Amino acid sequence: MRPSFNYCNLREMSLSIEVRWDKKVIEKLKKLGEKDLVAAREKWLNEASIILVWESKKEAPVKTWVLRKSIASKVYSKYALVFTPLSYAPFVHEGTEPHIIMPKFKKALHWIDPNTWEDRFAKLVHHPGYEWNPFFTRAVEKNERRIVNRFYEIISEYIHD
């Protein structure tokens, strides 16, 4: 009677969770009123998104804290998004191959050396690439059972088994 759990449709650094039920659960859900079903779903989506934001922040790498601070969620009536708007987040999550970085609009690249706090300039940089760090995926995997069980508890409150 427990729902199955499919996860991690990573698109634009958002996470999609889809729950599918067996026939017995579907029959019981049909008996619920529309208001009860909507209330149960929204309560679960709220709780699931809070759990996943918290766990994603714990799993995200820490260099400047910007990535961790940017992880957020948005709950809609039928789904919730856990996301980060940062343009470099997919590269951290999925990793990159070694590559060359060249300036697009100026004659040189500029950055501040984190060890000496001095300005650095270069016409190009041979970047070693990033090792992949799937922090969203780990957050879902670590909390899969917890989220599914909570969903089951919330639905059970409304169904009154």
Please indicate, yes or no, whether residues 38 and 100 belong to a single structural domain of this protein.
no
Please indicate, yes or no, whether residues 70 and 115 belong to a single structural domain of this protein.
no
Please indicate, yes or no, whether residues 125 and 137 belong to a single structural domain of this protein.
no
Please indicate, yes or no, whether residues 123 and 137 belong to a single structural domain of this protein.
no
Please indicate, yes or no, whether residues 30 and 73 belong to a single structural domain of this protein.
yes
Task: Show pLDDT as tens, one digit a residue, over the chain (161 residues).
Answer: 344 444 444 444 455 556 666 677 677 677 777 777 788 888 889 999 999 999 999 999 888 889 999 999 998 888 888 889 988 888 888 888 999 999 999 999 999 988 899 999 999 999 998 898 999 889 988 998 898 888 878 877 877 65
- 4-7 and 17-20 as β-strands: parallel, antiparallel, unpaired? antiparallel
Please give the pLDDT value at position 11: 45
Please indicate, yes or no, whether residues 108 and 138 belong to a single structural domain of this protein.
no
Please indicate, yes or no, whether residues 102 and 138 belong to a single structural domain of this protein.
no
Domain assignment present for residue 45? The answer is yes
- Is the overall model pTM greater than 0.85, yes or no? no
CB burial of residue 113 (10 Å; 0-12, 13-18, 19+): exposed
Please indicate, yes or no, whether residues 80 and 101 belong to a single structural domain of this protein.
no
Please indicate, yes or no, whether residues 14 and 41 belong to a single structural domain of this protein.
yes
Domain assignment present for residue 90? The answer is no
116, two tokens: 């000496």
Domain assignment present for residue 154? The answer is yes
Identify the domain containing residue 107 by its residue range: 96-129
Please indicate, yes or no, whether residues 26 and 104 belong to a single structural domain of this protein.
no
Q: Are 71 and 93 in contact (CB under 8 A)?
A: no
Total domain count for the chain?
2
Q: What own/partner pairs with CB < 8 Å and gap ≥ 24 does 145-148 have?
A: 146/51, 147/5, 147/17, 147/48, 147/51, 147/52, 148/2, 148/3, 148/5, 148/19
Domain assignment present for residue 91? The answer is no
Q: Are 73 and 54 in contact (CB under 8 A)?
A: no
